[in-house]
């Protein structure tokens, strides 16, 4: 079985250096605009910063992947076209995309540019993936976080490209690329503007001994003094009905696949993706360092389970749909 590639987040140049220095095989980032799905103030790269990042990563044996993974605005696709052109000019190792128009543009205009299919495309079966391979020459697919290990194995047996799966970080219980929940409250779309529950719309308000987490004008959750406060996103909100409060979709928790790395390798997975371009340098350092150890152990035939609750949303971890029992 092939050793897993470790693909790590780089929300800033400093985070990129930390990821590379602690064992990342590849780092992924976006330009400082709506062309990437983490379009938050203080994050991302200018063209000049990305050029420097390429030099730093390549000098240390790491690859650089650029996310241009939102959907171009109707009649206003210039920023996305420019991002693709700049990626080709800088000679990034791959560009991560979802929009079929942009994929077509990249294939026709820059045939030497390696294309990865973003999770934002929601390609969750072999028929869909093979369509992107045939039409656009995609070389790797990032699979949505709704598939079991068995389903991933079945897909890999029917495709002839690399597959990448999420390994650690915040969970998205929706099918990526199709969720617009937060846009109904904030007016900002994850798929068009690159922001889900933007920080500009988030507020924490004390209410007696409790802490309310608000998104725009709505209270999404309320935490008692002994609870760890989570970030307010609609899909992870806690709602009251019939006098009882509970989570509608999923409790705030983080993905952690260290204990099932041998199963993912056996399923034909090529790469693991760490979520967290909006996270701190300390988060990037600790997660990358721990996953480097776990991947190297798995390559030796060993299973290493690493507790990273202190880095997790809600202070707890899950293997999510990878271990799902329903079909």
Q: What is the mean pLDDT of each run of 10 residues along the chain (327 residues)?
A: 94 97 98 91 95 98 97 92 98 97 98 96 96 98 93 97 94 72 84 81 92 91 85 82 78 86 97 93 96 96 88 78 71
Beta partners for residue 64, in sequence order: 27
Are 200 and 190 within 8 A, CB to CB?
Answer: no
Domain match, 236 and 90 both: no
Domain match, 238 and 264 both: no
Q: How many domains does the chain have?
A: 2
3-state secondary structure at position 125: coil
Domain match, 21 and 106 both: yes
Domain match, 226 and 270 both: no
Q: pTM of this prediction?
A: 0.89
Domain extent at residue 111: 5-171+253-323
Residue 280: give its domain's CATH number: 3.20.20.70
- The DSSP H or E segment spanning 80 is helix 78-90
39-87 pLDDT, tens digit per residue, is: 888 999 999 999 999 999 999 999 999 999 999 988 889 999 999 999 9
DSSP 77: -
Domain match, 263 and 162 both: yes
Residue 12 in any domain: the answer is yes
Residue 42 in any domain: the answer is yes
Residue 176 in any domain: the answer is no
Residue 181 in any domain: the answer is no
Cα gap 3→262, rounded to integer Å = 10
- Rounded to whole angstroms, what are the CA distances from 143 to 87, 117, 169? 23, 9, 15
Domain match, 212 and 166 both: no
Domain match, 139 and 192 both: no
- Note the pLDDT of residue 300: 95
Of 196, 220, 247, the domain-final residue: 247
Domain match, 193 and 53 both: no
Residue 114 in any domain: the answer is yes
- Note the pLDDT of residue 238: 86
Q: Round the CA-based radius of gyration of the chain to a whole number and report it.
A: 19
Domain match, 47 and 146 both: yes
Cα gap 17→195, rounded to integer Å = 24
Exposed e or buried b per residue across 315-324, where buried means at least 16 C-beta atoms within 10 angstroms of its C-beta: eebbbbbbee
- Note the pLDDT of residue 243: 84
**Which ranges of 93-227 would DSSP assign to H, the alpha helix?**
100-109, 126-136, 149-156, 183-186
- The DSSP H or E segment spanning 45 is none
Of 212, 247, 282, the domain-final residue: 247
Q: Which of 55, 53, 40 is nearest to 10 (CA)?
A: 53
Burial class (CB in 10 A: 0-12, 13-18, 19+), 55: exposed
């Amino acid at each position: 079985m092939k050793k897993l590639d470790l693909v790590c987040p780089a929300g800033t140049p400093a985070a990129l250096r930390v990821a590379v220095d602690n064992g990342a095989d590849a780092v992924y980032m976006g330009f400082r605009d709506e062309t990437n799905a983490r379009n938050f103030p203080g994050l991302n790269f200018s063209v000049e910063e990305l050029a420097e990042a390429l030099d730093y990563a390549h000098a240390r044996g790491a690859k650089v992947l650029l996310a241009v993974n939102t959907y171009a605005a109707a009649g206003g696709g210039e920023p996305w076209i420019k991002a693709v052109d700049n990626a080709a000019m800088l000679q990034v190792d791959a560009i991560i995309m979802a929009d079929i128009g942009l994929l077509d543009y990249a294939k026709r205009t820059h045939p030497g540019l390696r294309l990865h299919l973003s999770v934002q495309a929601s390609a969750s079966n072999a028929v869909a993936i093979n369509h992107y391979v045939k039409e656009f020459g995609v070389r790797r697919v990032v699979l949505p976080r709704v598939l079991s290990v068995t389903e991933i194995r079945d897909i890999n047996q029917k495709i002839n490209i690399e597959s990448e799966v999420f390994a650690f970080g915040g969970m998205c219980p929706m099918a990526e690329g199709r969720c617009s929940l937060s846009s109904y409250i904030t007016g900002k779309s994850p798929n068009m503007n690159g922001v889900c529950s933007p920080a500009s719309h988030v507020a924490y308000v004390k209410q007696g001994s409790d802490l309310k987490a608000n998104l725009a004008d709505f209270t999404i959750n309320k935490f008692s003094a002994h609870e760890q406060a989570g970030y307010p996103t609609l899909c992870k909100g806690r709602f009251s009905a019939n006098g009882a409060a509970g989570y509608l979709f999923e409790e705030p928790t983080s993905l952690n696949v260290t204990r099932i790395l041998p199963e993912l390798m056996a399923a034909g997975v090529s790469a693991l993706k760490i979520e967290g371009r909006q996270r701190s340098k300390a988060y990037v350092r600790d997660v990358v360092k721990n996953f480097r150890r776990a991947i190297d152990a798995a390559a030796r035939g060993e299973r290493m389970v690493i507790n990273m609750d202190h880095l997790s949303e809600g202070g707890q971890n899950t293997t999510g749909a990878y271990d799902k029992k329903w079909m």
